[in-house]
Every structure is written in C-alpha cells, then in structure tokens.
C-alpha cells in the first residue's frame, strides 16, 4: 500500500510544477560566453585586464621572483586550470 501511494504522489508532482513556474526570463545579451573567455560585452579596458591576468596565470615563476619553498609548481595555472585556466583551485593546498 505504501509503494502505491508514493507512486501516485510522484506521478502527479511533475504535472503540478510546470517549467513555466520557474522561468525568470532570458539572459541579457552579451553577458555569457565560453568558459575561459572574457564576457562578450567587456570593454576594451576589461579585455586588456583579462589578457594580462591570463598572461600572469601562465607565467613561470622562480625563487628570484619571490616564489617560496612551499610551492611545488611554478605557475598559477598549474592548479587553477579546471575547467579552464583561471578557475578555482584544483590542487590540494597544504600549510606547514
């Protein structure tokens, strides 16, 4: 009896919640783009800033640049690369 009640309940739930109940409109044009790219409507200054940040993420650092002894990689994108360069930390950080 309990299974039949659950089956009936789940049969009617999708009909009670149509997709139009959750639609809040379309995205504004130009605010989304492929991961790893600047926003399509970014200004020239914002695009230049994005490119500088990308260059820094790919740059190899060493001890002369101030890279300390607790790093096991030499560039930011070694860890910040999933799903694209600049993404959140993918490596396991340790502190001593």
Three-class DSSP category at 32: coil
Would you give the DSSP letter of residue 80?
Answer: S
Domain boundaries defined on the chain: 43-96
* pLDDT, position 91: 54
* pLDDT, position 9: 46
Q: pLDDT of 30-87, one tens digit each?
A: 778 888 888 888 999 999 999 999 999 999 988 888 777 777 788 888 888 888 887 7
* pLDDT, position 16: 52
Alpha-carbon Rg for the chain in angstroms: 24
Please tell me the pTM assigned to this model: 0.56
């Amino acid at each position: 009896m309990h299974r039949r009640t659950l089956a009936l309940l789940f049969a009617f739930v999708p009909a009670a919640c149509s997709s139009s109940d959750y639609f809040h409109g379309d995205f504004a044009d130009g605010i989304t783009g492929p991961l790893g790219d600047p926003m399509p409507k970014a200004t020239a200054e914002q695009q230049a800033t994005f490119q500088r940040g990308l260059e820094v993420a790919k740059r190899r650092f060493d001890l002369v640049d101030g890279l300390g002894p607790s790093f096991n990689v030499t560039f930011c994108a070694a860890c910040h690369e999933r799903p694209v360069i600049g993404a959140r930390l993918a490596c396991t950080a340790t502190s001593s």
